[in-house]
Amino acid sequence: VSVLCVATGLSIRGSQEEDPPDPQLMRLDNMLLAEGVAGPEKGGGSAASAAAAAAAGGAADSSIEHSDYRAKLTQIRQIYHTELEKYEQACNEFTTHVMNLLREQSRTRPISPKEIERMVGIIHRKFSSIQMQLKQSTCEAVMILRSRFLDARRKRRNFSKQATEILNEYFYSHLSNPYPSEEAKEELAKKCSITVSQGVGSTITVSQVSNWFGNKRIRYKKNIGKFQEEANLYAAKTAVNAAHAVAAAVQNSQANSPTTPNSGFQMKDEEFQLDSAESKNTLLTNMFTGGYPAPCYQSDGRIQ
């Protein structure tokens, strides 16, 4: 009986503290702890993963795919824990099994406590090496997850259709001055995130909006022709929106003549002549006089 006690006693600490605290194992343990895989359940886990996310990249703005990341992380953690438990249990069972065998043998030959201890030691070493493997592969999984989801270094996911719709709508309705203010960017970011929220949970940040507009401006400017169709589409769309919004105000639309020239958009510090409201109005009058939406674009993308 006392032998069993020794066995279980060893099994409890056998896994964690080999007398020389293996540096490799320590490293793995630390990492698992830091990533929130090992350690306390839900609460601590999310906090730890949040910390990990913050450490991984640009603090607040790497909350981009947080929920996704977290889901996968908890999955990993669950697997890790059940496996760990399984090993623990198997180790105990195996130990008692060996103990029983030894006890049986002790009837036919003398067995020293030393030998028993040695046996137990072997078993535990074996199992802890298996555990180590588990920890190693768990670490690997976490690393892969990390690099896949929130490593700062580029990992690109296209915005949702709706998000690009919203951004394009803004871009083309402010074509003459497509430089959203900070507040406007915030609003756009919010709008994009909201309309996307039921999907994969991707959220769009202000800096992403800035990136988007940066890319859009340069690419639009570089090849206006390529974007003509798109421009028409969104101009028409905003015109329709405007039509609904300001239908009552049509009466004084006679004020502006449809001859205002305007070239694409001007580079930054220049004044913009054609305000979005104005452009909407001309489009509006076009709609009402000419019938179908499409405003007139010239070959270089000018509006009227």
Partner DNA sequence: GGGCATGATTACGG
Partner DNA sequence: CCGTAATCATGCCC
Smaller CB separation from DNA, 127 or 213: 213
* Binding residue count for DNA, defined by CB under 7 A: 27
**Residue 107 binding DNA, by CB under 7 A:** no
Contact status: 59 vs DNA (CB under 7 A): no
Which residue, 25 or 224, has its beta carbon nearer to DNA?
224
**Core vs surface per residue 84-110: b (16+ CB within 10 A) or e:** beebbeebbebbeebbeeeeeeeeeee
**By the rule CB under 7 A, 225 interacts with DNA:** no
* Sole binder of DNA in the list 41, 85, 140, 182 (CB under 7 A): 182
Closer CB to DNA, 27 or 155, in the complex: 155
Among 24, 78, 140, 179, binds DNA (CB under 7 A): 179
Distance CA 136, CA 85 (A): 16
- Helix, strand, coil share (%) of the chain residues, nearest 5: 70, 0, 30
Among 42, 118, 126, 226, binds DNA (CB under 7 A): 226
CB closer to DNA, 208 vs 238: 208
84, 108 contact by CB (below 8 A): no
User: Strand pairing partners for 303?
Assistant: 297
What character string, x for contact with DNA (CB under 7 A) and - otherwise, covers 62-91? Answer: --x---------------------------
Residues 6+ away with beta carbon under 8 Å from 131: 15, 84, 87
| Least distance between DNA and beta carbon 236 (Å) | 18
Binding mask 184-223 for DNA (x = CB under 7 A): ------------------------x-xxxxxx-xxx-xx-
Closest CA to 77 of 127, 28, 128, 42: 42
Nearest to 152 by CA among 78, 88, 56: 56
CB 65, min distance to DNA, A:
10
- Which tokens go with 282? 């001309």
Of 64 and 76, which has the nearer Cβ to DNA?
A: 64
Q: Report which of 164, 172, 178 is spatially closest to residue 297, judged by C-alpha positions.
A: 172
CB atoms within 10 A of CB 114: 8
Among 115, 157, 247, 302, binds DNA (CB under 7 A): 157
Residues 233-262 contacting DNA, CB under 7 A: none
Give the integer Cα–Cα distance in Å for 127 and 94.
10
Which residues of this protein are in contact with DNA, per CB under 7 A? Answer: 64, 152-159, 164, 179, 182, 208, 210-215, 217-219, 221-222, 226, 267-268
